[in-house]
Amino acid sequence: MLKKRITKLLIGTNNKGKFKEITNLLPKNIKVFSTSQFKLKSPREYGKSFEENSLIKSKFFSKKAKMLCLADDSGLEIDLLNKQPGIYSARWAGSKLDFNIAIHKVYNELKKKDKNWQKKKIKARFICALSICYYNKKIICVRGSINGKISRIPKGKNGFGYDPIFIPEKHKKTFAEMKPSYKYKLDHRSKAFKKIKKFL
């Protein structure tokens, strides 16, 4: 456990969308550092869960930059696809991380499972495991999730990744159609953040 409040923190991600969202969720008194400031490439994510991969990243980046690190491992689980892409959400976008490719793959896989999928409610959820480590020491690791469904077609230009195809529960718009400040208040990442609030 940390005895003092955090004053400086490395955000262990090379995903610009995540970085933007995480900095927005952090209290403004924390001095934030990015992996690009240290020219750090991401480690191989060999974990079998969001939590394991999050810890791999926060430990790796903390050791490289020699400072406290917050990392996020997240992804989209689709029930009809047996919870895929899940921890492989980034990998579905290919080596160039093209999310048009990932979204196309989601629709293709859904069609293979059920050609009438567009007429049905395709349950899905976003998951986020946030962890804070100092070198190899785990300070905390938590999970947040948000339920929803897959949109029949991609909609909206905001956000990143799978945002254009995810409609959160009790809403009609996709994450990509929402104002970023609105999405940040309700998504999986903000739910995980609430659980680490006492450290920030």
Active-site residue set: 73
Neighbours of 70 (CB within 10 A): 29
Give residues 116-145 in contact with ligand ITT (rule: CB under 6 A).
Answer: 126
Site string for ligand ITT, 147-166 (x = CB under 6 A): ------------xxxxx---
Looking at the Cβ atoms of 162 and 193, the one nearer to ligand ITT is 162
| 89 touches ligand ITT by CB under 6 A | yes
Which region among 10-18, 22-30, 61-69, 112-120 touches ligand ITT (by CB under 6 A)? Answer: 10-18
The residue from 75, 148, 154, 168 that contacts ligand ITT (CB under 6 A) is 75
Looking at the Cβ atoms of 35 and 198, the one nearer to ligand ITT is 35
Q: What 3-state DSSP class applies to 71?
A: strand
Assign 3-class secondary structure to 84-148: EEHHHCCHHHCCCCCHHHHHHHHHHHHHHHCCCHHHCCCEEEEEEEEEEEECCEEEEEEEEEEEE
Looking at the Cβ atoms of 6 and 11, the one nearer to ligand ITT is 11
Site string for ligand ITT, 34-73 (x = CB under 6 A): --------x--x-----------x--------------xx
Looking at the Cβ atoms of 114 and 169, the one nearer to ligand ITT is 169
The angle that helices 16-25 and 188-196 make with each other, rounded to 10 degrees, is 40
Q: How far is the CB of 194 from ligand ITT (least distance, A)?
A: 15
Give how far Cα 73 sits from Cα of 28, 48, 55, 188, 192, Å. Answer: 23, 11, 9, 11, 11
Looking at the Cβ atoms of 147 and 198, the one nearer to ligand ITT is 147
| 187 touches ligand ITT by CB under 6 A | yes
- Write the CB contacts of 96 (distance below 8 Å, at least 6 apart in sequence): none
The answer to whether the beta carbons of residues 14 and 72 sit under 8 Å apart is no
> For residue 187, which amino acid is it?
D
The answer to whether the beta carbons of residues 45 and 56 sit under 8 Å apart is yes
| 23 touches ligand ITT by CB under 6 A | no
Residues near ligand ITT (CB under 6 A) are 13-15, 18, 42, 45, 57, 72-75, 89-90, 126, 159-163, 175, 187, 189
